Homo-oligomer: A and B are copies of this chain.
Amino acid sequence: MLPGGDLASGGVSLASLRQKWGSPLHVVLAEQLRRNVREFLAINEGGRIRGEVFYSYKSNPIPGVLRVLHDLGIGAEVISEYELWLALKLGVPADRIVFNGPAKSLASVRNAVARDILLLNINHREEIDVVVSVARELNRRPSIGVRVATSGGWTGQFGLPAGTGEAFAALKEVHESGILELAAIHCHVGGMVRSRQHVQSYVGEVLALADRVKTELGVELAILDFGGSLATPTVTNITDFDRKVAMAFQAPLPVPQPDASLGIPEYVRCVVEQVENHYAAQKRPCPRIFFEPGRAMTGNTQVLVASVLSLKAGEPKPGWAILDAGINLAESARSEFHQIFPASRMHEPRSCQYRLAGPICSPGDVISWSASLPELAAGDALAIMDAGAYFVPFATSFSFPQPPVVMLDGAVVKLLRRAESFEDIIALDEFDCRPPD
């Protein structure tokens, strides 16, 4: 922070960046990004690879951010033909790409198999037939994992239950296909993982299933892939109860307790040690251990800087602040608590509870029902924190063009994505500009 009360990084005031780059503005914090990478890879200090990390492209697919991650040794976790294309365009070697998701088009499976990517994780049993037929057609033997759903983790369209025999049946089917290499169990638990107990629980289920694969199929899996889902400590889901209390009484939303959340190095060590200990105890070779962080890698590395366009007095006082950024750019703020700071007035007491609306003329365009801030004036900058996961991918051009993305690295500001122009929004359209008939 600067002495005058400006939120800053590398001595650069975030609010002041608006003068050159406009508002709203995404600011990527390069040092925080590199720090997160270091924390994820700390397990490999000393030179032995104990954990491998593949960034979940869907979380924040800005090429300039991905460039930094890949340059520091992070691989790519992709869920679509587009993301596979982007990883290859960025020069990620095929053997550093993992392909997941429930919606793999035939074209994307063909591309992945033809390029011999590191791992393709089957989402559900019916996908096996598709991959088998592509493998036959291309005469390849792709490395295949099966996504499992552990107790309390995401299920529905995702994965096969680890506990019911369905996941094992799919693993067996892959193994017995004769053309697929059964390589992995994939477990992306979903939600926000914060505790050691939670991690130990799903890792344990994966290990039990891997044991069964060894015992019944005679296959020692080469990879255990633990997906992502580690929480950003300062972000929590907003409960219906807390939202209703904030709406009705403008009570402040509960502030997350970052210390109660597992940090990156502890999380990685927790998984790796549990797996290593399990295999060591059985004197079996330890598989490769994969992580696919999304929000934990980039969530806290980006700030969405927005401006107060106007105030609207109302009850309870002081009423509404209308911003130039709303759910068009911060959809996640509807369901997640994100800290929102007065970017150039950090020294002032935050004694007012504002409702913060965005610009898109929808009653759902509220990014906070009760934000603790100083008394605001039009033009004030707000910093919407932890905007580095699921803000950019969920962004729309609803009535307002999308903002630029800059990276702040020390005191250097680099443009990663320019602002969308009015012309850009209709660049794919065919139409006549003549006046109405």
B361/A436 in contact, CB under 8 A: no
Is residue A124 within 8 Å, beta carbon to beta carbon, of the partner chain?
yes
Given contacts A70-B436, A310-B124, contact A420 B428 (CB under 8 A): yes
Main secondary structure on A side of the interface with B: loop
* 189-224 of chain A: CB within 8 A of chain B: 190
Report which of B82, B83, B103, B310 forms a contact with A103, defined as CB distance below 8 A: B310
CB pair A103–B417 under 8 Å, yes or no, is no
CA distance A127 to B311 in the complex (A): 9
User: Is the C-beta of A11 less than 8 angstroms from some C-beta in chain B?
Assistant: no
Chain B residues lying within 8 Å of A235, measured Cβ to Cβ, are none
Q: Are A102 and B57 also in contact (CB < 8 A) when A63-B429, A70-B436, A429-B62 are?
A: no
Bitwise interface map of A from 34 to 51 toward B, beta carbon under 8 Å scored 1, else 0: 000000000000000000
In the complex, chain B residues whose CB is within 8 Å of the CB of A125: 312-313
CB-based contact A433/B400 at 8 Å: no
Pick from B85, B358, B422, B435: contact of A86, CB below 8 A.
Answer: B422
Which residue of the partner chain B has the closest CB to A125? B313
Is B82 a contact partner of A401 (Cβ separation < 8 A)? yes
Interface stretch (choices A13-21, A150-158, A249-257, A277-285):
A150-158
For A85, the closest partner residue in chain B by CB is: B422
- In Å, the complex CA distance between A104 and B310 comes to 9
B312 x A359 contact (CB < 8 A):
no
Q: In the bound complex, how far is the Cα of B58 from the Cα of A82, in angstroms?
A: 28
Please tell me if the beta carbons of A102 and B322 are within 8 angstroms of each other in the complex.
yes
With contacts A416-B429, A428-B418, A430-B415 taken as known, whether A154 is within 8 angstroms of B86 at the C-beta atoms is: no
Whether, in the assembled complex, A357 has its beta carbon less than 8 Å from a beta carbon of chain B, the answer is: yes
- Residues of A at the B interface (CB closer than 8 Å) are 57-58, 61-64, 66-67, 70-71, 73, 79-80, 82-83, 85-86, 89-93, 100-105, 123-127, 130, 154, 156-158, 190, 309-314, 320, 322-324, 355, 357-361, 363, 365-366, 393-401, 414-420, 422, 424-437
Q: Which 10 residue pairs of A and B lie closest in terms of their CB atoms, listed nearest first? A: A103-B359, A91-B435, A157-B357, A63-B431, A124-B312, A70-B436, A80-B399, A393-B398, A71-B437, A63-B429
